[in-house]
Structure 1
Amino acid sequence: MGPSDAVLARLMTLHPKVIDLSLGRVERLLAALGHPERALPPVIHVAGTNGKGSTVAFLRAALEAAGLRVHAYTSPHLVRFNERIRLSGKLISEEALAALLEEVEAANGEAPITYFEVTTAAAFLAFSRSPANVLLLEVGLGGRLDATNVIESPAVTVITPVDLDHQGYLGSSLAAIAAEKAGIMKPGVTAVVAPQKPEALAVISAHSDEIGAPLSLGEQSWQWTDTASGWRYGMTHVLPEPRLMGEHQKANAALAFAALDALETATGLTVDWAARTKAMTTVDWPARLQRLTTGALADRLPGDFSLWLDGGHNPHAAHALASTLATSSPGETHGTGPLDLVCGMLDTKDTLGFLKPLASLTRTFIAVPVASGQTGAGLPAHVLADLARQAGFKEVRTASSVTRALKDLAGRDGPARVLICGSLYLAGAALWENGTPPV
Structure 2
Amino acid sequence: MMFYVFVHEQIDVAIVEVGIGGEHDCTNVIKTPIVCGITSLGLDHVKLLGNTIEQIAWQKAGIFKPDVPAVTVPQVSEAMRVLNERAEERHCSLEIAPPLNHYPNYPFQLSLAGDVQEINASLAIELVFHWLHAREGQSYDKLRTAPLNEKILQGLATCRWSGRNEIVDTPSATYYVDGAHTIESIEQCKNWFTNSLSKQNKSERLILLFYCSNDRQPDVLLQPLMKCKFDSVAFCSPITSLPTINDKNSQTDTKPGNDQWRATANIVSEIGRLSLHVAAFEKLWLSTIENQTTIPSIHCFHTVSQAIAWIDDSKSSKPSVLVTGSLYLVGAVLKLLDKNDSNM
Name 1:318's counterpart in structure 2.
Answer: 186
AA in 1 matched with 2:180: G
* Cα separation, 2, equivalents of 1:403 and 1:391: 27
AA in 1 matched with 2:209: V
Name 1:12's counterpart in structure 2.
Answer: none
When structure 1 is superposed on structure 2, of 387-396 and 421-430 the one drifting more is 387-396
* Cα separation, 2, equivalents of 1:156 and 1:312: 26
Name 2:273's counterpart in structure 1.
Answer: 380
Any stretches of 5+ residues in structure 2 without a counterpart? Answer: 140-147, 240-262, 264-268, 287-294
* Cα separation, 1, equivalents of 2:60 and 2:89: 15
TM-score where L is the length of structure 2: 0.77
Distance 1:135 1:422, change over 3 A: same
Name 1:34's counterpart in structure 2.
Answer: none
User: 1:402 aligned to 2:304?
Assistant: yes
* Cα separation, 1, equivalents of 2:132 and 2:155: 17
AA in 2 matched with 1:380: R
| 1:243 corresponds to which of 108, 111, 121 | 111
Larger Rg: 2
Name 2:284's counterpart in structure 1.
Answer: 391
Q: Hey, which of these two has a bigger chunk of strand by percent?
A: 1
User: SS in structure 2 opposite 1:172?
Assistant: coil
Name 1:191's counterpart in structure 2.
Answer: 70
* Cα separation, 2, equivalents of 1:148 and 1:324: 32
**1:239, 1:277 within 8 Å by CA — same for their partners in 2?**
no
Name 2:245's counterpart in structure 1.
Answer: none
CA positional deviation for 1:277? 1.1
AA in 2 matched with 1:360: K
Deviations 1:27-84 (A, max 9, x none): xxxxxxxxxxxxxxxxxxxxxxxxxxxxxxxxxxxxxxxxxxxxxxxxxxxxxxxxxx
**1:360, 1:392 within 8 Å by CA — same for their partners in 2?**
no
* Cα separation, 2, equivalents of 1:385 and 1:270: 55
| 2:216 corresponds to which of 337, 340, 349 | 349
* Cα separation, 1, equivalents of 2:197 and 2:329: 27
| 1:426 corresponds to which of 318, 322, 329 | 329
AA in 2 matched with 1:274: E
* Cα separation, 1, equivalents of 2:53 and 2:158: 34
**2:219, 2:277 within 8 Å by CA — same for their partners in 1?**
no
User: SS in structure 1 opposite 2:68?
Assistant: coil
| Percent identity of paired positions between Structure 1 and Structure 2 | 25
**1:345, 1:370 within 8 Å by CA — same for their partners in 2?**
no
AA in 2 matched with 1:424: L
CA positional deviation for 1:397? 2.7
| 1:368 corresponds to which of 231, 236, 258 | 236
User: SS in structure 1 opposite 2:83?
Assistant: helix
* Cα separation, 1, equivalents of 2:149 and 2:107: 9
User: SS in structure 2 opposite 1:183?
Assistant: helix
Any stretches of 5+ residues in structure 1 without a counterpart? Answer: 1-121, 225-231
AA in 1 matched with 2:284: A
**2:41, 2:53 within 8 Å by CA — same for their partners in 1?**
yes
TM-score where L is the length of structure 1: 0.62
Name 1:264's counterpart in structure 2.
Answer: 132
Name 1:125's counterpart in structure 2.
Answer: 4
Q: How many residues align?
A: 292
AA in 2 matched with 1:427: V
Deviations 1:61-117 (A, max 9, x none): xxxxxxxxxxxxxxxxxxxxxxxxxxxxxxxxxxxxxxxxxxxxxxxxxxxxxxxxx
CA positional deviation for 1:331? 5.1
Q: Hey, which of these two has a bigger chunk of helix by percent?
A: 2
Name 1:179's counterpart in structure 2.
Answer: 58
CA positional deviation for 1:316? 1.2
Give the superposed CA RMSD: 2.5
